[in-house]
Structure formats: C-alpha cells, structure tokens
Amino acid sequence: MTDKTLFEPYTLGSLTLSNRIIMAPLTRNRAGAGLVPSEFAATYYSQRASAGLIIAEATQISPQAQGYQDTPGIYTQAQIDGWRKVTDAVHARGGKIFLQMWHVGRVANVAVQPGGAMPVAPSAIRAATKTFVNNGFADVSEPRALELDELPGIVNDFRQAAANAIAAGFDGVEIHGANGYLLDQFLKDGANIRTDAYGGSVQNRARLTLEVTQAIIEEIGAERTGIRISPVSPANGVSSSDPQSQFNYLVEKLDALGIVYLHVVEGATGGPRDVAPFDFDALRQRFKNTYIANNGYNLDLATSRLNEGKADLFAFGHMFIANPDLVERLKSGAPLATLDKATLYGGGTAGYIDYPALVELNAD
C-alpha cells in the first residue's frame, strides 16, 4: 500500500476537495464601508483557490459580535453581496470555500461596539489581551455578563449568519469556538464562573456551543457545518482547569450531531504545540467525520500525521499569505516566500494581493 499524500483528492461531505491542504482563517482587517469585504478580497481569495478548502477569515455574526476594526460581517445584504463576489471568484477557479463565523465576546474594545457599549461575556471578567482598533493594538474593555434571556438571541444570530453565508455562495460554515472568543469563553472555566445552566459543570459550559451548532444544522444541514476548537490554547487570556474532560465531552456531543468536520488547534494558537498536556488523539477517536489538524504544521509533519491516521486534513495559516500558490510550492519543493508582518493587519493591496505566484516569478 502506498503512503497517502496531502495532494490527493478528499471527500468532505458532499464536496470533493482537490487536496488535503486547508487555508486556515486569517484576519486581515481590510473590510470597507459597512464592514463589507474589501473590493480586493475576491482577488485575494481566488489567488489561493488551489487550496483543497479555503476557510475565509473570521466574520462577525452581528454588530455586537465585532471586536476588531475593519473585520467583515455577514448580517447585512451589502455584506452578503460583498461575500458573493468572493465565493464566485473562488468557485470560478475550481475552489471550495467555507465562512468562519465568530462572536468575539469579551475580546473587544468599546471603540468598535455599537453605541460604545460594553462588550459581552459569560462572566464579567476582563480578558488579559489586546485588540486591533484605531489602527493599533489597545487593551480590551471591561465586559458585562450576558443575561440568561440574551442567549437565545446569540444562538439566533449564528443561525441567521449561517443562512446568510449560504445565500452569499459559501459551501458551508465554520463555527468559531476557539482562541478565547465567546463560545470558547463559555467552554473554559477561567472565563466562565456562571452558576446557571450555562456554567459550572462540563455539560453546562458546553451548552451554548451545542445550541449554536444545533441551530445551524437545522438551518443549513450538518454536511455544511464545521467547528473550530482550541482545547489548551491560552489565546486571548482563556484557561481551563480540566480541558480534557471538557473537550472530550464536547466532541462526543458534536459527533452525535453529525457535523462535517472538527478543526482543532493543537497547542497554543500560533505557538508551541506542547503548551499543556492534552491527548488530541482522544478527540480524533471520538469524532467519526473529518478531523482537520492545525498549528505548526509543515509538509513533513502533516504527511507523517496523515499516514499515522491522526488527521484527515491539515490547515496552514500564515504560509498562505505570502504564498498564494502554497499547494504548488509544497508539491514541487519550491522555496516559500516570507511574510511581511508589517502589512498583516489593515492597509490596502500591499501585502494582500501582491505576493507573486511561482508562475509570475518565472515569467519575470
């Protein structure tokens, strides 16, 4: 039997992906007026359409869900129309694309909240982190705890955002349950000290994430619904006293719902994979559908993990920014271009759509 490679097709629900390489969601802070995707977003994403699947940047489900400046939304018709240009461009080049939907919760500054309101959170605990506002990084603001009767509205915002994403032409959606944002805040007891049905026990802390997932499935179907989690990542100041129990339970319940994939940040987001003890294989064993592995992967590590049966698909992040043709470069062994960190967040076309593909370099 020959070894598997990242460059073979893969069936994801009803989709056939051209390879096992996933473009991870990457915040770029370039949305235009009305938080509509940038006029250059269609070019940016279509340049990267050779990925087996693109997961588009985190996109807020409501005005309250925003935490950073110039991040796109998916709750107005203008935003839906803006995203339609992106999905049409990606599909025209044979690509597949999901939308990552987020609510940042407490990771927000009043500067981007409607009417300068306090950010919301499971509990009134300020996050030890910063956010990108007014063209620079600033401390997040003090949050207020969500009232029990507000939570159905949050669930409905996710449901409606999923419907809007499909209307915009996306092949599916990814629920952002990772990196210290709202759903992750509910999951982790360092941020969630509630004493009602959404706090305390492992089951209660998972309740909101499962309700959101169920609502989206009812709206667009399980085969178009994925989720991203980060069990031990300390991103945005979250912590958990017993992540293994929490995420084993969550994944068992997600598996029962039949969602198409589980996207797991293994370790600290953008940092060490061994930041804390955790058995990621236990999650893999509890989830029968597609497992997407994320964090610190290169071609060799991904190929090894694939052939060990540890994951099905592999997400690459920053590599895709400077290498729009990352799949071709990995396959051919061509050198990778270097990311210009100065143009990562905000700005215009520089550092966004001007990284050349190999074919352009060779033409020169």
Note the pLDDT of residue 308.
Answer: 95
| 8-49 tens-digit pLDDT | 999 999 999 999 999 999 999 999 999 999 999 999 999 999
Determine the 3-state secondary structure of 120 from DSSP.
strand
Q: Which fold has domain 10-363?
A: TIM Barrel (3.20.20)
Give the span between the Cα atoms of 249 and 329, in whole angstroms. 39
DSSP 122: S
Question: Tokens in use for 158?
Answer: 């996710």
Note the pLDDT of residue 359.
Answer: 78
- Over residues 348-360, mean pLDDT: 93
Question: Tokens in use for 284?
Answer: 């893999």
Note the pLDDT of residue 364.
Answer: 59
Which residues have a catalytic role annotated? 181
pLDDT at 363 over 70: no
pLDDT at 292 over 50: yes
- Over residues 164-179, mean pLDDT: 98
Note the pLDDT of residue 3.
Answer: 81
Which residue would you say has higher pLDDT here, 274 or 243? Answer: 243
HSE-up of residue 312 (Cα within 13 Å, Cβ side): 20
pLDDT at 169 over 70: yes
Quick check: 295 and 178 in contact, CB under 8 A?
Answer: no
Note the pLDDT of residue 2.
Answer: 56
Question: Tokens in use for 139?
Answer: 């401390």
Number of H helices, E strands in the chain: 11, 14
Quick check: 257 and 214 in contact, CB under 8 A?
Answer: yes
- Over residues 72-97, mean pLDDT: 98
